[in-house]
Structure 1
Amino acid sequence: MKILKKLLPIVIILAVLITTFMPAQPVLADSTLFESYTTGDDYNSTIYEDLWRAQTFTPSTAHTVTSVKLLIYGKDNPGDFTVSIKATDGSGHPTGEDLCYGTINGNDLPDTKTWTEITLGAGTSLSAETKYA
């Protein structure tokens, strides 16, 4: 009992020090929508094997892109589906290495068009008024 009485103040002091100086858990920011296009989303295009499709966009503010949402569906077990962000050349065509990318299993996609979020790893910083694909 004497040992507990002697240790109690030390335990209390340690608890206060730990809770006072322990770093707080990071607060994760909610996702913010920067660019979007949903008008006229009734166009269909086939993507398979090495057939690429691209959509350019120009951010109005600098930010980091970490995911995209696409209206897609899977048909006939398409396998992996990779989305990337690339720089564009003077003609507005994709060029160079991927700035960031994400891959999903297309076999897991539903048979009907569904908005599907694809995470782009750590993402990449985008500059304002710069065209990307």
Structure 2
Amino acid sequence: MTTLENSVIFDKGELITNDYFIGNAYLKMLVPEDTVYNCPIGNVTFEPGARNNWHIHDGGQILLVTGGTGYYQEEGQPAKLLKEGDVVTIPKDVKHWHGATKDSWFVHLAISTNVELGGTTWLEPVSDEHYDKL
């Protein structure tokens, strides 16, 4: 099992306690949402097996993978295996999810784009049945 507890570039932050994640994930906002920079950036750390629900960003999103291995999947497409150094550009209004593999921590910077278009619409969880097939 890959562990990143001592090799994360940024502080892993606080445990996320909403209903939009399966498993434990942590968030440290590096650049808050504001009207000065208009580009929120969060460091998201997923424990092995953790993932977020399907969701849509009204303005799009960019993921910069900084550690571990994880998945990114758009609706109707096969899941992509992600590793350190990968960059994912997610167009606005594309239904997707991302999270760790079963045996590795996964860390990425999540950059919200075009935030003036709106926020995130959270949808259904990624089922265990779906995830276990990856």
- TM superposition score normalised by structure 2: 0.29
- TM superposition score normalised by structure 1: 0.29
User: When you count helix as a share of all residues, which structure comes out higher?
Assistant: 1
Asked which structure has the greater CA Rg, the reply is: 1
